[in-house]
Chain A
Amino acid sequence: QKEVEQNSGPLSVPEGAIASLNCTYSDRGSQSFFWYRQYSGKSPELIMSIYSNGDKEDGRFTAQLNKASQYVSLLIRDSQPSDSATYLCAVNREGGKLIFGQGTELSVKP
């Protein structure tokens, strides 16, 4: 079992729709969770971090964390073509290591 799992996609949504990205993790001791966006050939850029169960909202983005079920999700409201990228879920492991899922490719169609 991979430490962090995501559906690789591609996930295609029309412009203006809600994009829903999901991630599960295996280490129950994980405390910190991150969503990154990565454009082709570029390094990841942080979208959201979440540490407590529940929802965290930042603009069009909402991260949801359920530690009991070991999943993290990211909702993108009013999706724009510029949101088209690969979204990486990352989980903090002991020693401060950040472990990434395989990423979900999102395509927002105009």
Chain B
Amino acid sequence: GAVVSQHPSRVICKSGTSVKIECRSLDFQATTMFWYRQFPKQSLMLMATSNEGSKATYEQGVEKDKFLINHASLTLSTLTVTSAHPEDSSFYICSASIRYGYTFGSGTRLTVV
């Protein structure tokens, strides 16, 4: 139980384009979803917290206009990387809080060329 399905698993896009990453909770309702970014050999850095039906809360240093988060339903949260640049290439992971901890999506490897 408590599965979060994240898509796509890998995406390559051209510089200047936008990419949308989806996270769906399959068997539970995710009131809150957390979005992380992980660069090679580094840890998971929390980018933002999304709450269903309200605006996302961004961590310090994360551009809210560049990383658009939408959490329109209790089972779907999306992260859109707008006007992507090579420095946005990273591993993006979503996570939802559940009763006894957290469950993670499988991650999205974004490469901007």
Residue B84 lies at the interface, judged by CB distance under 8 Å to chain A: no
- Contact flag A95-B106 (CB < 8 Å), given A101-B43, A102-B42: no
Tell whether, in the assembled complex, residue A34 and residue B44 are in contact, meaning their CB atoms are under 8 Å apart: no
Residue A100 lies at the interface, judged by CB distance under 8 Å to chain B: yes
A-B contact pairs, 28 of them (CB 8 A): A34-B102, A41-B91, A41-B107, A41-B109, A43-B93, A43-B104, A43-B105, A43-B106, A43-B107, A44-B93, A45-B104, A49-B101, A88-B43, A95-B49, A96-B32, A96-B34, A96-B49, A97-B49, A98-B46, A98-B102, A99-B46, A100-B36, A100-B44, A100-B45, A100-B46, A101-B43, A102-B43, A103-B43
Tell whether, in the assembled complex, residue A44 and residue B49 are in contact, meaning their CB atoms are under 8 Å apart: no
Q: Which residues of B contact A102 (CB under 8 A)?
A: 42-43
CA distance A96 to B101 in the complex (A): 10
Residue A60 lies at the interface, judged by CB distance under 8 Å to chain B: no
CA distance A97 to B36 in the complex (A): 11
The smallest C-beta distance from B68 to any residue of chain A, in angstroms, reads 20
Tell whether, in the assembled complex, residue A46 and residue B93 are in contact, meaning their CB atoms are under 8 Å apart: no
Q: Mark A19-59, 1 if CB is under 8 A from B, else 0.
A: 00000000000001010000001111110010000000000
